[in-house]
């Protein structure tokens, strides 16, 4: 008998009597009156700041300023997604390590914990949200939901090969519980809330 079958048989022999899966206690879960305000407050509580924009021009200016300094930017916003995505798709880590700034569009944001969902199709390359020195996330304000329960109802985890809920910049407190921002991933995260379709 294969190891697999041995393990499965041992589980069958030893598992407890079947209990039913619990129902979702919908109606008893938090819904914020103003999820955008909650999102803003939560981000501030972990050291971030929400910035409001009407269109993507503000971000474009930041991108151009970095590029003018000769720094590499992975701009995957709006019309750039297809072209930049294709450009970065098969680049190795040794190349991507020099990315100064990545700009990504999130699909959804969660008010209770400021996690934003970024699927692989919005990244170009799976390393891009992680290997860059700094990260900018664009989120439409009407895409902010109250809790993780609502978030999972709206995203698709069956199709794309990878996706991440990302909340804040990379951090560690492994040295004497002192919080240090910028462990292995991005050193900073700016979240721009878009008032309308950019």
Partner 1 sequence: MKPVPHARAAGNFIKDEERTNWHDDTLWFVREKRDKAAHGIAEWELLREWASQIKNHTLSCLDEYLLNFEKQAIANGVKIHWAADAAAHNQIIYSIIKEQKISRIVKSKSMLTEECGLNEFLHQQGIDTVDTDLGERIVQFRDEPPSHIVLPAIHLKKQDVSETFHIHLGTQKGNNDPQYLTEAARGHLREKFIASELAITGVNFAVAETGGFVVCTNEGNADMGAHAARIHIACMGFEKIIPRTADLAVFLRLLARSATGQPITTYSSHFLKPRAGQELHIVIVDNGRSRQLGRADFRNSLKCIRCAACFNTCPVYRRSGGHSYHTAVAGPIGSILNPNLDMKANADLPFASTLCGSCSNVCPVKIDIHEQLWKWRQELAKEGYVAGSKKAGMKGMAFVLARPGLYRFSGRMARWFLRHLSFLFKSKKLNPWYRQREMPAAPKHSFRNWYLKNKKK
Binding residues among 51-80 for partner 1 as defined by CB under 8 A: none
CB closer to partner 1 out of 7 and 65:
7
Report in angstroms how near the CB of residue 73 gets to partner 1 at its nearest. 19
- Distance from C-alpha of 85 to C-alpha of 140, rounded to nearest angstrom: 21
Q: Which regions of 54-142 does DSSP assign to beta strands (E)? A: 72-75, 99-105, 108-110, 116-119, 134-140
39 lies in the binding site for partner 1 (CB under 8 A): no
Count CB neighbours of 145 within 10 A: 21
Report in angstroms how near the CB of residue 57 gets to partner 1 at its nearest. 29
41 lies in the binding site for partner 1 (CB under 8 A): no
Q: Name the residue among 164, 75, 149 with its Cα closest to residue 116.
A: 164
Place of tokens 């407890």: 16
Among the listed residues 85, 109, 124, 163, the single contact to partner 1 using CB under 8 A: 163
> Which stretch, 57-65, 66-74, 100-108, 155-163, contacts partner 1 (CB under 8 A)?
155-163
Task: Count CA within 13 A, CB hemisphere, residue 84.
Answer: 21
Among the listed residues 33, 57, 68, 175, the single contact to partner 1 using CB under 8 A: 175
Count CB neighbours of 180 within 10 A: 11
CB closer to partner 1 out of 12 and 69:
12
Count of residues that bind partner 1 according to CB under 8 A: 78
> Which stretch, 53-61, 62-70, 90-98, 100-108, contacts partner 1 (CB under 8 A)?
90-98
Q: Which SS3 state, helix, strand or coil, does residue 52 take?
A: strand
Among the listed residues 11, 33, 57, 69, the single contact to partner 1 using CB under 8 A: 11
Tokens, residue 66: 């970095």
């Amino acid at each position: 008998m294969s190891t697999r079958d041995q393990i499965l048989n041992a589980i069958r022999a030893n598992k407890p009597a079947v209990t039913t899966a619990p129902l979702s206690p919908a109606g008893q879960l938090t819904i914020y009156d103003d999820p955008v305000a909650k999102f803003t407050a939560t981000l501030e509580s972990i050291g971030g700041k929400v910035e409001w924009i009407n269109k993507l021009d503000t971000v474009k200016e930041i991108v151009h300023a970095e590029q003018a300094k000769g720094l590499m930017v992975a701009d995957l916003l709006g019309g750039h997604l297809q072209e930049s995505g294709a450009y970065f798709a098969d680049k190795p880590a040794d190349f991507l390590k020099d990315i100064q700034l990545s700009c990504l569009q999130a699909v959804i944001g969660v008010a209770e914990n400021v996690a934003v969902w970024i699927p692989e199709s919005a990244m170009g390359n799976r390393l891009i949200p992680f290997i860059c020195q700094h990260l900018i996330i664009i989120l439409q304000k009407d895409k902010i939901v109250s809790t993780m329960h609502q978030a999972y109802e709206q995203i698709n985890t069956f199709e794309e090969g990878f996706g991440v809920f990302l909340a804040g910049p990379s951090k560690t407190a492994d040295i004497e519980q002192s919080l240090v921002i910028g462990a292995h991933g991005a050193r900073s995260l700016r979240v721009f809330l878009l008032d309308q379709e950019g």
